[in-house]
């Protein structure tokens, strides 16, 4: 048994996914998905465009109702929740407190017409913080944590570069110390040098805060750097899963072999 597997052997899963399916048309969506996610674990979901990975992420994060199956989540506030059997109000509470969602395009996860500090402060106010001084102080601390000078607190996101906007979106999500983060291609569209810096920062924050993360990416280098475990998707199905190094260094499924070899040839 690997050290990584042993780490979660006696720990209850944070998220349990059972026979989850969501299809728009034949081959479009995801079907019969089963996995457990443990506290502090990073799960990478990889596959080409159209493989169903983003559909799966949307269903897991309560933004898209499934056709069938269950998502069971261990909430700090509510205990064990069947995500699609509980009421909408509980799901909304999770999304603004215990969960974070990092979009591929930072503009989708930020309010562009208010300041950087207000973007972070809104999330704090959503969980009950009302003291302006405390909110501003924590916003400044989180700007520094994601390597944005705290003097930019009153600047709007539209004044930031793409990489800075993505870091601000991450700060906005992490300020409430969520248990679970969903990431959709968080480095997509960024320059290679900016990607490397962002990934380095992400890896440090995830480890420091003990976050559980589900990250969707088509980039196997991103998956190798961040994920403990991988699921490889093709045409809506999981064709291979396992520890990240195991899957990438010794792929068993022909499709995974093709993905890995295509990276090696580039």
Residue 140 lies in a domain: yes
Give the dihedral sign, CA 15/92/101/181.
negative
pLDDT greater at residue 191 or residue 119: 119
Residue 137 lies in a domain: yes
Residue 156 lies in a domain: yes
pLDDT in tens, 172-192: 999 999 999 999 988 877 788
Other beta carbons within 10 angstroms of residue 97's beta carbon come to: 19
Nearest by Cα to 72 from 31, 35, 46: 35
Can you tell me the distance from the alpha carbon of 237 to that of 245, in angstroms, rounded to the nearest whole number?
Answer: 21
Residue 247 lies in a domain: no
CB of 175 closer than 8 Å to CB of 139: yes
pLDDT in tens, 134-150: 899 999 999 999 999 99
Residue 199 lies in a domain: no
Can you tell me the distance from the alpha carbon of 266 to that of 262, in angstroms, rounded to the nearest whole number?
Answer: 6
Residue 44 lies in a domain: no
pLDDT tier at 119 (50, 70, 90 boundaries)?
very high
For residue 7, the model assigns a pLDDT of 58
Domain span including residue 171: 106-177
Q: Is the pLDDT reported for residue 47 higher than 50?
A: yes
Residue 91 lies in a domain: no
DSSP string, 81-108: EETTTS-HHHHHHHHHTTEEEE-SSGGG
- The number of folded domains in the chain is 1
What token pair was written down for 69? Answer: 């199956």
pLDDT tier at 263 (50, 70, 90 boundaries)?
low
pLDDT in tens, 191-229: 888 888 888 888 888 888 899 999 999 889 899 999 999
For residue 195, the model assigns a pLDDT of 84
Task: Taking each helix axis as running N to C, give the angle between helix 162-174 and helix 192-209, from 0 to 180 degrees, rounded to the nearest 10.
Answer: 10
How large is the average pLDDT for residues 5-27?
Answer: 82
In the chain, alpha helices (H): 3-7, 53-60, 88-96, 116-126, 132-145, 162-174, 192-209, 220-226, 244-249, 254-265
> Whole-model pTM above 0.85?
yes
Rg (CA), the chain: 18
pLDDT tier at 65 (50, 70, 90 boundaries)?
very high
Residue 207 lies in a domain: no
């Amino acid at each position: 048994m690997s050290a990584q597997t042993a780490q979660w052997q006696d720990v209850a899963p944070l998220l349990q996914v059972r026979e989850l399916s969501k299809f728009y048309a034949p081959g479009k969506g995801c079907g019969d998905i089963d996995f457990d996610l443990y506290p502090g674990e990073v799960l990478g979901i990889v596959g080409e465009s159209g493989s169903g990975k983003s559909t799966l992420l949307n269903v897991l994060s309560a933004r898209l109702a499934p056709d069938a199956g269950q998502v069971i989540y261990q909430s700090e506030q509510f205990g064990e929740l069947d995500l699609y059997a509980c009421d909408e109000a509980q799901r909304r509470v999770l999304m603004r407190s215990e969960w974070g969602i990092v979009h591929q395009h930072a503009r989708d996860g930020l309010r562009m017409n208010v300041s950087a500090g207000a973007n972070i402060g809104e999330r704090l106010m959503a969980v009950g913080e009302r003291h302006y001084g405390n909110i501003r102080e924590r916003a400044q601390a989180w700007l520094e944590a994601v390597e944005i000078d705290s003097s930019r607190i009153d600047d709007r996101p539209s004044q930031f570069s793409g990489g800075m906007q993505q870091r601000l979106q991450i700060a906005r999500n992490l300020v409430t110390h969520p248990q679970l983060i969903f990431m959709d291609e968080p480095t997509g569209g960024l320059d290679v040098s900016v990607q490397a810096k962002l990934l380095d920062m992400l890896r440090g924050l995830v480890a420091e805060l003990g976050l559980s993360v589900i990250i969707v990416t088509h980039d196997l280098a991103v998956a190798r750097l961040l994920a403990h475990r991988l699921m490889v998707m093709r045409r809506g199905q999981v064709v291979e899963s396992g520890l990240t190094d195991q899957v990438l260094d010794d792929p068993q499924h022909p499709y995974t072999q093709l993905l890995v070899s295509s990276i090696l040839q580039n």
